[in-house]
């Protein structure tokens, strides 16, 4: 046991505005519980005056420092792919990476976001009506949440994004993967919400740096379930408004924990204790 305790392992998170992230604490606590000396660092683009264009340098720095891997978050989940050596099948299908394993001089891209969202959804909204959902956001996180929802059996999906061409691109990609589902880029959010059974929110709106609601609260109806990806704060303005209007809700905690479960497994080669990580997350978020 003493020998195991001194075994070093380094990992990190690359993204913008990530100072409030609980990912380092989740990884390091689980590492300690498994006898690892685990150091997990934040590489915040805002703090170091960098952008996604600096990914080649940041990845090379991580390799030089002996990192086992890095997690990738907004706004780098798609941009990072150009700098990797290979992609796991899920990352290849989604065109988005949130976990990069650095091993043997190569960079291996994975996506644990989609499984994280799916697992959180299964547990938090087990009997949700999956006939028709609206999704806000078609970026890296939105790719994962849409893929997860369709994998869970969602029959119809309308994707909305501030960049309509991005929503269209995601709809086309998902249609190829799920030809039995009706997937489209939305054009009329109000009309879609009137028909939808649920809402998936996959943009940064609601985070400390992006306050506010991602849509008009009047579009929410008690029949809707609302699934959020933002977890800091855990109680976003969207969830607060949705609950006020009688909606069933799912916070972003499940996705945060279960994507970390998957990344921990990839970085360490050890099987994480998901229940322990969930409990630790709950303790941190009160």
Any catalytic annotation for residue 282? Answer: no
CA–CA gap between residue 92 and residue 181 (Å, rounded): 20
Catalytic residue among 77, 103, 155, 282: 77
Helix axes 113-124, 140-151, angle to 10 degrees: 50
CA distances from 32 to 37, 74, 257, 279, 285 (A): 6, 27, 17, 15, 20
Residue pointed to by tokens 């989940």: 77
- Report how far apart the first and last C-alpha atoms of the chain are (Å, whole number): 32
CA-nearest of 81, 6, 86 to 38 is 6
CB within 8 Å of 57: residues ≥ 6 apart: none
**Known catalytic residues?**
77
């Amino acid at each position: 046991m003493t020998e195991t305790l001194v075994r070093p392992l380094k990992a990190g998170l690359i993204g913008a505005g990530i100072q409030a992230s609980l990912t380092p604490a989740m990884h390091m606590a689980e590492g300690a519980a498994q006898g690892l000396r685990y150091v997990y660092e934040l590489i915040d683009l805002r703090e170091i005056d960098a952008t996604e264009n600096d990914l080649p340098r940041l990845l090379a720095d991580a390799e030089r420092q002996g990192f086992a891997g890095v997690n990738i978050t907004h706004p780098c989940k798609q941009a990072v792919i150009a700098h990797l050596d290979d992609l796991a099948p899920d990352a290849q299908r989604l065109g988005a990476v949130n976990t990069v394993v650095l091993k043997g001089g190569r960079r291996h891209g994975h996506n644990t976001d989609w499984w994280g969202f799916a697992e959180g959804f299964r547990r938090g909204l087990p009997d949700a009506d999956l006939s028709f959902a609206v999704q806000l956001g078609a970026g890296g996180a939105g790719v994962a949440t849409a893929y997860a929802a369709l994998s869970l059996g969602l029959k119809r999906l309308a994707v909305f994004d501030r960049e309509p061409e991005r929503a269209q691109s995601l709809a086309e990609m998902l249609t190829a993967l799920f030809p039995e589902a009706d997937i489209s880029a939305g054009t009329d959010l109000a009309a879609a919400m009137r028909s939808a059974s649920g809402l998936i929110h996959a943009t940064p709106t609601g985070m400390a740096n992006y306050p506010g609601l991602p849509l008009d609260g009047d579009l929410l109806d008690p029949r809707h379930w609302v699934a959020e990806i933002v977890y800091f704060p855990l109680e976003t303005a969207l969830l607060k408004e949705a609950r006020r209007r009688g909606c069933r809700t799912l916070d972003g905690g499940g996705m945060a924990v279960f994507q970390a479960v998957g990344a921990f497994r990839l970085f360490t080669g050890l099987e994480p204790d998901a229940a322990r990580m969930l409990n630790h997350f709950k303790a941190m978020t009160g």
